[in-house]
């Protein structure tokens, strides 16, 4: 028994050490008169399809050292990763423009910048522009919803973690086509509330409920109304229950491509996080992206 415990501990240590050993290269690019910093990781295990994941941090976050777990998952899955640094809003916190009250006066072209950067990085490192993918947490998740509506065919698939559809986005940003879409969200999230916040009680601005935001994607993708559910096996005795809701057989987002899907991972009692203790979040995202790779 002790040997088994020691072996498990050793494996965890090796995986953690490996993730920490991954050091993305720092780079910068001039965009609309502003130098924008970003970090790029190209694994030796890069797939022949040469895919790239754009990984967006949350509000007040930093790109440097962000989510080593995603870097390790990308290494295993054969994806390159780019982590851009958000710029400061007038009140001082870094992030992406989502229309928060605290972002008043902030430049509003982050959606275009992220697409521009993805294409630029792909060209610089010889990656495949047909295999670009987008994920982000919280404020980064908000950008997933915004970009998905505006540029659905730019990314092969999109995965939001604790992200929201702001009410202004729901009201003003029309959909422009289907795209495979995933949301991972805790039902007890007090920052990005599962039930929405149409009264702006949290101070982030008005936003709709998570199930409503996901339903909009189901409708846009044209998925079957029939919902499939699956309860994930717990990672440990401390893991919260996670229920996967899946809607299938949506319209293809690319000519001749496979049917799109919409996935919602409901973390029962989960708070504002990547839910790493409850599910293999980064591995699940990479496997989701792998299903939409093109040669």
pLDDT of 254 reads: 87
Tell me whether residue 46 is in a domain. yes
pLDDT of 17 reads: 39
Average pLDDT over residues 38-52: 97
The answer, yes or no, to whether residue 11 has pLDDT greater than 80, is: no
Q: What are the Cα distances from residue 279, in Å, to 136, 248, 266? A: 16, 22, 11
Higher pLDDT among residues 295 and 181, named by residue? 181
Confidence of residue 20 (pLDDT cuts 50, 70, 90): low
Average pLDDT over residues 44-64: 97
End-to-end alpha carbon distance in the chain: 47
Tell me whether residue 4 is in a domain. no
The answer, yes or no, to whether residue 14 has pLDDT greater than 90, is: no
* Distance separating alpha carbons of residues 198 and 201, to the nearest angstrom: 8
Average pLDDT over residues 275-282: 98
pLDDT of 256 reads: 80
The answer, yes or no, to whether residue 2 has pLDDT greater than 50, is: no
Tell me whether residue 5 is in a domain. no
Lowest mean pLDDT: which of 15-19, 20-24, 226-230, 285-289?
Answer: 15-19
Coil/strand/helix, residue 140: helix
pLDDT of 16 reads: 43
The answer, yes or no, to whether residue 192 has pLDDT greater than 80, is: yes
Tell me whether residue 295 is in a domain. no
CATH classification of the domain holding 181: 3.40.50.1820
In sign, the C-alpha dihedral spanning 98, 99, 104, 106 is positive
Specify the number of domains making up the chain: 1
Confidence of residue 227 (pLDDT cuts 50, 70, 90): very high
According to DSSP, residue 102 is labeled: G
Tell me whether residue 1 is in a domain. no
pLDDT of 255 reads: 82
The answer, yes or no, to whether residue 61 has pLDDT greater than 70, is: yes
Rounded to the nearest integer, the mean pLDDT of the chain is 93
Tell me whether residue 2 is in a domain. no
pLDDT of 21 reads: 73
Tell me whether residue 14 is in a domain. no
Range of the domain at 268: 25-290
- Token pair, residue 38, equals 């970003």
The answer, yes or no, to whether residue 52 has pLDDT greater than 80, is: yes
Which residue, chain included where needed, has tokens 């890069």?
46
- Summarize pLDDT for 70-126 with one digit per residue, the tens: 999 999 999 999 999 999 999 999 999 999 999 999 989 999 999 999 999 999 999
According to DSSP, residue 67 is labeled: -
- Torsion over CA of 153, 158, 160 and 166, rounded to 10 degrees? 10
Confidence of residue 257 (pLDDT cuts 50, 70, 90): confident
Residues forming a β-bridge with 31: 34
The answer, yes or no, to whether residue 15 has pLDDT greater than 90, is: no
The answer, yes or no, to whether residue 196 has pLDDT greater than 50, is: yes
Tell me whether residue 9 is in a domain. no
pTM of the predicted model as reported, rounded to 2 decimal places: 0.92
* Distance separating alpha carbons of residues 21 and 220, to the nearest angstrom: 41
């Amino acid at each position: 028994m002790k040997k088994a415990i020691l072996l498990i501990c050793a494996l965890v240590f090796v995986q953690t050490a490996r993730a920490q050993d991954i050091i993305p290269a720092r780079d910068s690019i001039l965009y609309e008169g502003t130098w924008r910093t970003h970090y790029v990781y190209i694994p030796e295990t890069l797939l022949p399809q040469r895919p790239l994941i754009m990984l967006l941090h949350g509000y007040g976050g930093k790109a440097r050292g962000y989510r080593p777990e995603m870097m390790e998952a990308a290494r295993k899955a054969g994806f390159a990763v780019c982590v851009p640094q958000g710029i400061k809003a007038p009140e001082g916190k870094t992030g992406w423009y989502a229309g928060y009250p605290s972002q008043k006066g902030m430049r509003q072209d982050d959606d275009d910048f992220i697409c521009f950067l993805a294409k630029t990085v792909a060209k610089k490192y010889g990656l495949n522009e047909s295999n670009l993918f987008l994920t982000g947490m919280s404020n980064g998740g908000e950008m997933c919803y915004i970009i998905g509506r505006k540029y659905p065919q730019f990314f092969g698939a999109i995965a939001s973690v604790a992200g929201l559809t702001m009410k202004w986005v729901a009201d003003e940003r029309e959909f422009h086509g289907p795209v495979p879409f995933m949301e991972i969200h805790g039902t007890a999230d007090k920052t990005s509330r599962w039930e929405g916040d149409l009264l702006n009680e949290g101070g982030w601005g008005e936003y709709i409920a998570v199930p409503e935001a996901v339903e909009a994607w189901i409708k846009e993708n044209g998925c079957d109304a029939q919902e499939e559910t699956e309860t994930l096996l717990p990672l440990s005795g401390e893991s919260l229950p996670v229920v996967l809701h899946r809607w299938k057989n949506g319209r293809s987002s690319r000519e001749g491509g496979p049917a799109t899907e919409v996935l919602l991972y409901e973390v029962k009692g989960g708070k504002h996080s990547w839910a790493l203790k409850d599910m293999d979040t980064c591995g699940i995202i990479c496997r989701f992206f792998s299903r939409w790779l093109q040669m």
